[in-house]
Amino acid sequence: LPRVSIVIATRDKLGLLRTCVDGVLNYTDYPALELIVIDNGSTEAGTLAYLQSLRTRERVVVLNDREPFNFSRNVNRGIRAAGQDDVIVLNDDALLTTRGGFTAMRRMSVEYPEMGIIAASCNNVGNPNQFRRNRPSEPIVREDPRMVCFVCVLIPRRTIDRVGLMDDRYVDYGLDDDDYCLQVRR
């Protein structure tokens, strides 16, 4: 399988970040994976030491950004650092519970090349179309007519090459994922 880079933008959320990273490391069976964490000048006690410990791990890159937090700008830094990899954008508060979930997302990306973004199902997100469904009659992949929330999304390199990066004029969180989905749909 081609390499996939997981991009996590974070700011002063040590407990959430640690749980998220542990989930990535414990629930991932994907063989060619790199984790890219972009930190926005965290000052929370223990965060700097934790980020330093991540730097010593194989296939983990930690980038620092001292500018005010901007989710889309930080994700763009991670996308650029990923080179030609497909990218999974993962919120630092995402809690992974499905072993092999990234592999399944990558497989869906290959099986459905017309899909520009593959989103994981989530139980706490603003788009109910992303809620997990266990009805056998429903397809595994559902097209969303509007947008998907970027809690855990795979953006294939073919999409990035065609659409470009996220619009970093959006500050903090919000609307940047709506905008990117609109660009992909166009």
Q: Please list the pLDDT of the chain residue by residue as tens digits (186 residues).
A: 678 999 999 877 788 889 889 888 877 777 778 999 998 877 777 888 888 888 888 888 999 887 888 889 999 999 999 999 999 999 888 888 777 888 888 888 999 999 999 988 776 666 666 556 665 555 566 666 678 778 889 999 999 999 999 999 987 667 888 899 899 988
Is-contact 54 66, C-beta < 8 A?
no
pLDDT score recorded for residue 30: 75
pLDDT score recorded for residue 175: 84
pLDDT score recorded for residue 4: 92
Counting DSSP H helices and E strands in the chain, the numbers are 6, 6
Could you give the CA distance from residue 79 to residue 165 in angstroms, rounded to a whole number? 8
pLDDT score recorded for residue 135: 57
DSSP string, 140-182: SS---SS---TTEEEE-HHHHHHH-S--TTS-BSSSHHHHHHH
pLDDT score recorded for residue 133: 63
pLDDT score recorded for residue 89: 95
